[in-house]
Chains A and B, each alone.
Chain A
């Protein structure tokens, strides 16, 4: 504590302290003070890497020894666990040769945190890859994408039947859900951000509460409110309603966050130019937030496509292509997966994995699309868009110059035309340079 104080006080100040009778603060001479080695907080040295590699080799060796020769241990999970523990032990030992206890702890924790990341990454890649690999059996058959299961029985081979009815069902259900969710969700988000007030806060609280709604309860609500009371039959429309109830809070929340990121000075500039509230929203806020809003909608779509449990209660299971959303059951991809793998037949299970692979590819595509569309923050433009904006302002400039030339040609120059001409001249110089 004294050192930090001393370094901030100038020698003159210390002298005045001494004169006033208080004990003088001692200042360590900066020349003679030893400067310790700089502590590395990021990055890895060469010997750090060798420590990791060596400890890993030792861990694997110990596990092989234990499982192969020394003791009667067996099982893949146990092997990995023993190897990992041995790796941690050896790594701590190796680091402790060159460092103190604090640094050993630091290195061990870094390794533990990285392992958590690797484990999560491994789990995700494994879940996706497992589905895709097991789906390979069904995917190469072209009839898988062109036929429905109408004529295929459980004992038929994979060259009969397909999932075109589920693909069509998913597309119709998600389109209906989006037709409700996009306008309603984005308008509600605009209401939360641009209008505000006490009611808006209430809406935000309710829509936050809605994200807690378990999907099966949403399905049960639609089942008992729409199917039991009104339509008396399962339909694609009911499924779309259930998906809407699930997607709406997600889209509202995500759009709300995006709209909040639109810079306030853009809005203020629009208001200062005298535009109305609606003109500001339509010409400034929405175009600025467009990539973010698209991302919000696409991510909501990805979630909505994968919803199984609300659809299970509302859409019904069928093997036939049904293009009428208001009558008769209409199956979707996740429900078709669920229905296929309930069967004990290996061909049906292969179809289930094929359907799951199609579903996950769809979700991955949507996700990649969201990254491409929404990778930029609000207001950042793509090169082509920037080119367009430059061209547009060039045209504006030309128009203004033409008008100014006309005004200059006027025989009686009015005083108020003079100040407007000078900023235009400035812009001309700027763009030409």
Chain B
């Protein structure tokens, strides 16, 4: 069929009553409305999806609101002292989270010292050095590590790592004991050297928690590094830079938001980690600056330890502790995601 015959067929006035569109006379066909007229299935879908979103928000808000309401009981009694009191005995109305919060932050900081170099190195390895099969294997491995249950990490920490880390901790305290942080001494100031003074410390818990948060950090950093623009990379190579020179002058500056955001996301996870910490530490309720010495505490371990024996008021006090922990992780998470989102170029989101 030729074009000419087609044009002729179109130009021919329709001899039957078939609704053929004729561009010459716009009046013959009804004007098209550009307003969407949702069908019944559409409006049903809309309302179902809307209510699903509503239910999700309701569940999430319920957690926050319920925590706040139940915590207000204990917070009303303790007042500002809640943040500065070290002891935890709600029965005698003398309780606060100073020591547990200190322990939580100590463990999280040690975890960061372990996790950030590992995560940074692995993320650079995956995005810049590894290729082909090795790259996909490493990515799978990091994802797999995120799925290993925390109780398994706790088992490993208690039954393997503890025995192998104690000599290292002893060595550090022997040679670097003049730094107050690494000193291990009893109440009268005598340096301790026996192994029992080094078990169940914040140091060991921090190492285990650090390994657990590496995958979170690695995946955020890797994504940020892989978005470093190819033009700048090639420009660096063209100017004679080595691969490390290129990484330092292009990839790291472009990925700075990802590094900071990933670190903070990992920090949020580290602060909330419960079961591995609970299995390793021996809980105390004083501020312990000697991170290598036995005894530390964390907010989540406190909740796991005391929820069963609590009266109604004690439960409210635990709620208050949980609320503080939730607020801290919430602030860290939001800051981190806004840093990561801002560091991304263009209109892409997430």
Contacts and interface: CB of A to CB of B under 8 A. Distances in A.
Interface of A: 39, 41-42, 75-78, 102-103, 105-106, 109-110, 112-117, 119-121, 123-124, 126-128, 130-131, 134, 183-184, 187-188, 190-192, 194-195, 199-200, 202-203, 206-218, 220-221, 223-225, 228, 245, 248-249, 252, 256-257, 260, 276-279, 281, 299, 302-303, 305-309, 312-313, 334, 337-338, 341, 349, 352-353, 356, 359-360, 363-364, 366-367, 371, 414-416, 418-419, 422
Contact of B120 (A116, A121, A203, A415): A116
Interface in B86-145: 117-118, 120-122, 124-126, 128-131, 138, 140-145
A334 B155 CA distance: 11
Contacts of A207: 56, 60
Given A42-B131, A359-B152, A117 B140 contact: no
A228 to B, nearest CB: 7
B38 A306 contact: no
Contact of B45 (A128, A131, A228, A278): A278
Interface residues of B, number: 107
B307 A220 contact: yes
Contacts of A360: 148-149, 152
A124 B143 CA distance: 11
Contact of B326 (A119, A213, A306, A307): A213
B329 A213 contact: yes
Contacts, number: 292
A112 B150 CA distance: 28
Nearest to B55: A184
Contacts of A215: 272, 274
Nearest to B272: A214
A422 B42 CA distance: 35
Nearest to A36: B240
A224 B66 contact: yes
A416 B18 contact: yes
A188 B42 contact: no
Contacts of B246: 41
B125 A114 contact: yes
Given A187-B49, A213-B326, A124 B145 contact: yes
Residue of A105, A220, A414 with most partner-chain B CB within 10 A: A220
Nearest to B302: A216
Interface in B26-56: 38-39, 41-42, 44-46, 48-50, 52-53, 55-56
B264 to A, nearest CB: 11
B164 interface: yes
Contacts of A200: 53
A366 B149 CA distance: 13
Given A212-B268, A338-B275, A117 B138 contact: yes
Given A75-B167, A131-B152, A356-B152, A214 B275 contact: no
Contacts of A422: 1
A206 B120 CA distance: 29
5 residue pairs, one from A and one from B, having the closest CB atoms: A116-B121, A306-B149, A214-B272, A187-B52, A212-B333
Given A102-B245, A309-B275, A216 B125 contact: no
Nearest to A110: B129
B18 to A, nearest CB: 6
Contact of A308 (B14, B164, B168, B275): B275
B245 A206 contact: no
A77 B304 contact: no
A195 B52 CA distance: 12
A103 B242 contact: yes
Interface in B263-316: 268, 271-275, 278-279, 300, 303-304, 307, 312, 315
Nearest to A4: B238
A114 B125 CA distance: 6
A188 B334 CA distance: 21
B52 A105 contact: no
Contacts of A126: 156
Given A194-B49, A195-B46, A306-B149, A313 B242 contact: no
Contact of A278 (B1, B44, B122): B44
B333 A195 contact: no
Contacts of A41: 237, 242-243, 246
Nearest to B246: A41
Given A190-B52, A308-B150, 4 more contacts: A112-B121, A217-B323, A306-B148, A334-B151
26 contacts: A76-B164, A78-B168, A105-B244, A106-B242, A109-B244, A116-B117, A117-B138, A120-B145, A191-B53, A206-B61, A213-B272, A213-B326, A216-B303, A216-B322, A217-B67, A217-B272, A217-B322, A218-B63, A248-B59, A278-B41, A313-B304, A360-B149, A367-B143, A414-B16, A416-B18, A418-B6
Given A208-B333, A299-B147, A120 B122 contact: yes
B84 interface: no
B211 interface: yes
B147 A303 contact: yes
Contacts of B332: 212
B219 to A, nearest CB: 12
B118 A119 contact: yes
A195 B278 CA distance: 43
B274 A337 contact: no
Contacts of B237: 39, 41
A413 to B, nearest CB: 10
Nearest to A205: B334
B18 A414 contact: yes
A106 B9 contact: no
B57 interface: yes
Contacts of B318: 220
Nearest to B330: A212
Residue of A126, A194, A302, A422 with most partner-chain B CB within 10 A: A302
A281 B45 contact: yes
B75 to A, nearest CB: 15
A299 to B, nearest CB: 7
Residue of A120, A202, A257, A308 with most partner-chain B CB within 10 A: A120
B329 A214 contact: yes
Contact of B275 (A210, A212, A312, A353): A312
Contacts of A134: 159
A127 B156 CA distance: 6
A191 to B, nearest CB: 4
B333 A184 contact: no
Given A116-B125, A117-B122, A305-B149, A199 B45 contact: no
B322 A220 contact: yes
